[in-house]
Amino acid sequence: MFGFTEEEIAEFALTWGLGAFVLFMLFIIWDLARESRAGRFGTFVLFFVLAFGVLGFIAKTIIQWLLGM
């Protein structure tokens, strides 16, 4: 489609689509902290716990880059 292979489209969608989804999830966490009046420590805990999966995704990407996969 449009001169792109299925692999190129999947890589683009995974990188940018999932990245946009992660940013949206961070916005949701921030909004949750603001609406619940969590304070600084509560906001930190929300971001640390709920965004911990994002760190795993970033780590996976870095490890793949380092190993040349």
Whether residue 42 lies inside any domain: the answer is yes
- Mean confidence (pLDDT) of the chain: 87
pLDDT digits (tens, 9 = 90+) for 27-57: 998 998 999 998 899 999 988 887 787 788 7
Q: Does the pTM of the predicted model rise above 0.75?
A: no
Domain that holds residue 15: 6-67
Whether residue 38 lies inside any domain: the answer is yes
Whether residue 1 lies inside any domain: the answer is no
Whether residue 47 lies inside any domain: the answer is yes
Query: Given pLDDT bands bounded at 50, 70 and 90, which one contains residue 1?
Result: low
Spatial contact of 20 and 46, defined as CB atoms under 8 Å apart? no
Would you say residue 63 has pLDDT above 90?
A: yes
The b/e string for 9-40 (b: 16+ C-beta within 10 A; e otherwise) is: eeeeeeeeeeeeeeeeeeeebeeebeeeeeee
Domain count, the chain: 1
